Structure 1
Amino acid sequence: MNGYSASKSDYAKRLARIEGQIRGLSRMVEDDQYCIDILTQVSAATKALQSVAVKLLEEHMAHCVAEAVAQGGDVADAKVKEAADAIARLVRS
């Protein structure tokens, strides 16, 4: 079971809203909207995706990483490294 399983429907709703934002961005480009207005919406969509990513990471740490750390050994080391790599990817984006 994944750490986010209990919140799966919430994630689906949030991602559907983000999908709508992206479709709106496409329409803005098709309609030749002002560049700054498009950039503002790109920023909003980016922040929404980052919010989903941070929440998923929190749940991963609380569930998957915590369970692995309780087991200890190589499994724990691998999960901590995996989480650290995910955090690094988020920080770079």
Structure 2
Amino acid sequence: MLARDIEQLDEPAHAQLIERALARIQTWEDSGIASPYYIRTWRRILAHPATHIPSMLSGDQANALVQNSPFGFAFSQPKYREVLNLAQQQD
């Protein structure tokens, strides 16, 4: 859902979202709170988000990457929170 929404953003909103995600990744790196693997992978994904995010979410590493996502701030929005709550109830 988030990947689809990202694809639909206009250029200024898209750039702002990606900038915020990259800032989150920088915090991970500066604080040593994320694996270098996640840092490198997310930076590579965000270099070309329109093409990489949808394929990433259907790839082999999708679950691991989503669990350590620089878009965590987006999940405070009600529409994403509802999806997360439903997924947790199914587990």
Instruction: State the TM-score, normalizing by the size of structure 2.
Output: 0.37
Task: Say which structure is richer in helix.
Answer: 1
